[in-house]
Amino acid sequence: MAVKTPTLDDLARIAERWSLSMTREDLQSFRALMGNALASYARLDELTEPTLSVKYPRSPGFRPQPADNPLGAWYWRTEITGAPSGPLAGKTVAIKDNVCVAGVPMMNGSSVLEGYVPEIDATIATRILDAGGTIVGKAVCENLCYSGGSHTSATGPVRNPYDPSRTSGGSSSGSAALVAAGEVDMAIGGDQGGSIRAPSCW
């Protein structure tokens, strides 16, 4: 969608909203400065988005029923078999549900994203499969990965496998619980603010 160049009246309203005192000449100057940037955006809109090939066949899988998901740690189950050999051959891997896996729903713990299905594999998913790993599902993560607890996901709390009445930490809550419970050999997470360290220490 093309970005429209604001009118001088638009810029005057914005300036007034932010208590900026600007003359008509100032507004014209700023509008002229926007020209090159907006032209770049317009050019981007004309380009065709690149599509990345999906190397390994898969089915969309299914959302597990509560009886098959007692810890609440699985968001989605699937099975994507990687290369026939490699350092991860024979290993099962859960993917934190903020990472794209083509054809497999991704919610990132938030009802806002429910129903979103990526069309590409994230680099880490491709590398796991290239190394012979088998991706067996998406692990629940906290709502938009914004909690150190394990109670904010729209799918419900992730329970600690050692004591289901306690937190498993977050935001990589499902990843940690699935590894600790022995349901997978390994899981990935992301740790920009403690999202692996917190659940690991629980």
Task: Write out the catalytic residue numbers.
Answer: 96, 171, 195
Beta strands of the chain (E only): which ranges? 74-81, 92-96, 134-139, 159-160, 163-167, 186-187
